[in-house]
Structure 1
Amino acid sequence: MKMYRIGQLAKEAGLSIRTLRYYDEFGVLKPSVVSGAGYRYYGKEDVIRLHHITTLKQLGFTLSEIKNVLEDERGIPTADKWIDAIRMQIAEVRKEQERLKMLDRVLHTTLHTLELRGDVAAEELLLYIQHIRKNGAEAAEHFRASARRNHFTDAEIPILEGLPSLEEDDPRTTAWVKLLREVHTHRDEPPESDISMKLAAQLLELGANFFQDNYELMERYWDWVRPEPGQSEKTLGLSEDTMAYIDRIVEEYLRREQESKGNPAQNGGRDRE
Structure 2
Amino acid sequence: MYSIGQVSKRSNVSISTLRYYDEIGLLKPAEVNESGYRYYSDKELILLQHIAALKEIGFTLKGIRNLLLSGEDTDEGSLKSFYKIELEAIEEKRRKLDVLEKLLITANHAFELKGKADPDDILMFIKAIQTPPNIREAFLTEHFTDREIKIIKSLPDLSSNDPKTAQWIQLIRMAAKHIDEEPSSEISQRLAKQFFEISMEWFDQDEKLIDKYWTLIRPEEGMEEKVYGLDRKVMDYIDRIVDWYLAVNVQEENRLNEQKN
Fold match (TM-score > 0.5): yes
1:228–1:101 CA distance, 2 compared to 1 (3 A): same
Q: Secondary structure at the match of 1:263?
A: helix
TM (normalized to structure 1)? 0.82
Displacement of 1:129: 3.1
2:112 corresponds to: 115
> Once the two structures are superposed, what CA deviation does each residue of 1:243-269 show, in whole Å capped at 9, x if it has no partner?
0100111112222222333334xx9x9
Question: Structure 1: which amino acid aligns with 2:172?
Answer: L
Which residue of 2 is the match for residue 159 of structure 1? Answer: 151
Query: Larger deviation: 43-52 or 174-183?
Result: 43-52
CA gap 1:230/1:34 in 2 versus in 1, 3 angstroms: same
Map of 1:44 onto structure 2: 42
- Separation (CA, whole Å) in 2 of partners of 1:205 and 1:30: 70
1:103 lines up with 2:95 in the alignment: no
Q: Which residue of 2 aligns with 1:178?
A: 170
Counterpart selection for 2:231 from 239, 242, 249: 239
Identity %: 38
Of 195, 203, 211, the residue aligned with 1:203 is 195
Bigger shift: 201-210 or 48-57?
Answer: 201-210
Secondary structure of 2:83's counterpart equals helix
Cα shift at 1:222: 0.8
Matched letter for residue 63 of structure 1: L
Deviation string, structure 1 residues 226-258 (Cα, Å, up to 9, x no partner): 112332211111111100100111112222222
Structure 2 unmatched runs, 5+: none
Structure 1 residues 114-123 or 34-43, which shifts more?
A: 34-43
Q: Could you give the per-residue CA deviations for residues 13-69 of structure 1, whole angstroms, max 9, x where no partner exists?
A: 455555445434544223334567776543331232122212211221111221222
The answer as to 2:240 corresponding to 1:248 is: yes
In 1, Cα distance between the equivalents of 2:134 and 2:231? 24
Alignment gaps of 5+ in structure 1: none
Q: Structure 1 residues 257 and 7, CA, compared in 2 at 3 Å: closer, same or farther?
A: farther
- Residue 214 (structure 1) aligns with: 206
**Equivalent position amino acid for 1:161 in 2:** K
What count of residue pairs does the alignment treat as equivalent?
A: 261
**Using a 3 Å threshold, how does the CA distance of structure 1 residues 32 and 212 change in structure 2: closer, same or farther?**
farther
Give the helix-richer structure, 1 or 2. 2
